[in-house]
Every structure is written in structure tokens, then in C-alpha cells.
Amino acid sequence: MTVDTIIYTRELRKTFRVSRRRPGLLGGLRSLFNPIVDEVLAVDGVNISIARGEMVACLGPNGAGKSTTIKMLTGILVPSSGTAEVFGMQPHRQRRAVAQRMGVVFGQRTQLWWDLPLRDSFDLLRYIYRIPPRRFAHNMAIFADLLELGEFIDTPVRQLSLGQRMRGDLAAALLHDPEVLYLDEPTIGLDVVAKHRVRSFLQELNRERGVTVLLTTHDMSDVERLCSRLLIIDHGRLLYDGSLEAMRGHVDDEGTLEDTMREFYERTSRELLV
């Protein structure tokens, strides 16, 4: 772990104990006292090291363990074993300190206040994150310009389109100058124009402010356009950690990125099974 490493995990593991109800009415009663418990290994010994200023994409099928890993990095979940460190701190131990320096955008759930105008959400966040007034005004001006928020900044969030809401969420996540930004499926459901806006914004952010970005996505063009580094997680394991070009080198480089990915999955899952 070098001085510059900002996100670090070592043998990160997460096991969920899921209780199943026994069938029938009597079974339901029995389940209260003696449930059937399945152990699900969601994350199985993941080792990641991300340096400050990197833009990393995290891919993998649904249920692969990507979200669980992110949740452990953001302090939502506690690891079953292994280490997760952000800014040299363990997120679940120093939750608030880590939270102050990170931003999160969940693609499907907004952090904005639903019934209030967008502007009010920003205002509330200013107090929650204790942002000095001048810094707040400065960031608001920049984001409003880059993300073109002016047209809808006074509209209640529930009336915004998905693209507008996503832009709002991005601004909201960055108002307090976080050093790390986690994005969970940020371009899902957006039209081409909106996707482009979001991507250029993220590039600008990374370039100008050195914000480290970790982004989970299913969208291959997100990966191609934004990220220099690729992490592939499947069945809780890190299958690949490197550049896009190098991955292409692993498979026959024909066809689109999609084809490349599919081939990669097939090849590595075969290797895993063997």
C-alpha cells in the first residue's frame, strides 16, 4: 500500500446469513425459533488498491458482489473478514469521518428531497456537510454551469426527468468536495445526450480536481470513454484487474467490447470451474 493509495481492500470477505422460512403455518412458527439458515458468500477475498486520481470501472453480472463491495467501502456494511480502508480509515469504524470525504450516487435511488425544489436539497446538504458559504457558492456556480442545472434548479425533484435528477444527484454528491466518488450505475436509463453530459462532467471532475472515481456499470461505453482501469467481479471474486487493452489481449480482439466481455466471462468461468 503506497502513500498514494486511497482505497484499499485485502482479503475482503462478506458472508450473509439468510434465513429461510419453513413452509406451512406450523413451519412459520418453527422458523421463529429455529430457522433454516443459508450462508451466502457474497464477496470472497477481494484485493483492490486504487490510487488517488484514478477512474476505475467495476463490472460484473448482477449479484456478483459489486454492490456489496461498494457498501463495505462506504460504511453501509461491515466486512465479515479482511480489511477495507478508505483514506487509511475503516469505513464502518470511522463512519462519519469517511462520509465527510466521500460522495455517493446510487443510480436508482436519489438522495435529493423529493417534494422540495432542487435548490433546497443543495441548501440542506450545505448544512449536513458543513460546507463553508463561499465554497458552497463557488461549487454551485461551477456545477450549475457544467451540468446546466439552471433550467430546473427551482423545480421540485419529483417533477424532474431521470436525466435532470441524475445531474442533480451528481452535483449534490460533490458539493462538499469529496476526494472519492462512488457511482452505482449512473447512466442507467439515460438518453444519449444525458449520458454524454454526465461523462464529460466526470472527466472534467477527475482532471481538474483529481477526484478518484469508482463506478459500477453495465454500460460498456461508460467503460470505454471514462475509465483507464477495469475491475471485473463475479461470484464474489475479482476476476480481472487491469487496463481495457490488456483485457482485450486475453481474448481474441474481434468485435465490440460486449463480445470481448462475453468471451472473457466464458473463458474465465470455465477456468474457475476447472
Partner 1 sequence: MELFTLYWKLVGAQVRGQLQYRVSFVLTCLGSALLNFVEFAALALLFTRVPRIAGWSLWEVALLYALAETSFAAAEFVASALDDFQIRIGEGTFDRVLTRPLGAFFQVLAEDLALRRLGRVAQGVFVLAMALVHLSLVWTPQKLAMLAIALVSGVAIFFSIFVLAAVFCFWTVEGKEATHIFSYGGVTLVEYPLDIYSDWVRRFATFVLPLGFVSYYPTLFLLDRPDPLGLPDWMRVLSPLAALALAGVAWYGWRIGVRHYQSTGS
69 near partner 1, judged by CB under 8 A: no
Please provide the DSSP assignment of 86-119 as one string.
ETTB-TTTSHHHHHHTEEEEESSS--S-TTSBHH
- Closest approach, Cβ 220 to partner 1, in A, equals 27
Q: Which is nearer to partner 1, 102 or 215 (by Cβ)?
A: 102
Task: Please say which residue, 75 or 236, places its beta carbon nearer to partner 1.
Answer: 75
Per CB under 8 A, 138 contacts partner 1: no
Region of residue 225 (phi > 0: left; psi between -120 and 50: alpha; otherwise: beta): alpha
C-alpha cell at 3: 502513500
Considering the complex, what minimum distance in angstroms separates the CB of residue 225 from partner 1?
26
- Does position 132 bind partner 1 by CB under 8 A? no
Instruction: Based on the shown chain and the rule CB under 8 A, indicate whether residue 97 belongs to the binding site for partner 1.
Output: yes
Of 212, 147, 190, 273, the residue nearest 6 (C-alpha): 212
* Residue 227 near residue 56, CB atoms below 8 Å: yes
Q: Which of 2, 23, 26, 96 forms a contact with partner 1 (CB under 8 A)?
A: 96
Backbone φ and ψ for 140, nearest 5 degrees, come out as -60, -45
Kindly tell me which residue out of 48, 59, 71, 171 binds partner 1, with binding defined by CB under 8 A: 71
End-to-end CA distance of the chain: 32
| Closer by beta carbon to partner 1, 111 or else 268 | 111
| DSSP secondary structure, 208-254, as one string | HH--EEEEE-S-HHHHHHH-SEEEEEETTEEEEEEEHHHHHHHS---
Strand partners, 156: 117
Candidate residues 10, 22, 92, 209; the one interacting with partner 1 per rule CB under 8 A? 92
Provide the CB-side half-sphere exposure for 106 (13 A, CA): 11
Q: Does 102 bind partner 1 (CB under 8 A)?
A: yes
Least distance from partner 1 to the Cβ atom of residue 68, Å: 8
3-state secondary structure of 35: coil
Q: Is 104 in the site for partner 1 (CB under 8 A)?
A: yes
Instruction: Report the nearest approach of partner 1 to the CB of residue 19 (Å).
Output: 10
What's the closest the beta carbon of residue 4 comes to partner 1, in angstroms? 24
Q: Write out the three cell numbers for 265.
A: 466471462
Draw the binding track, 204-243, toward partner 1 (x: CB under 8 A; -: no contact).
Answer: ----------------------------------------
Q: Which three cell numbers stand for residue 127?
A: 448544512
State which residue, 102 or 166, has the beta carbon closest to partner 1. 102
- Indicate the residue among 35 and 242 with the shorter CB distance to partner 1: 35
Residue nearer to partner 1 on the CB measure, 169 or 241 = 169
C-alpha cell at 34: 429455529
Binding residues for partner 1 (CB under 8 A)? 16-17, 68, 71, 74-78, 92, 95-97, 99-100, 102, 104, 106, 109, 111, 113, 115-116, 120, 124, 127-130
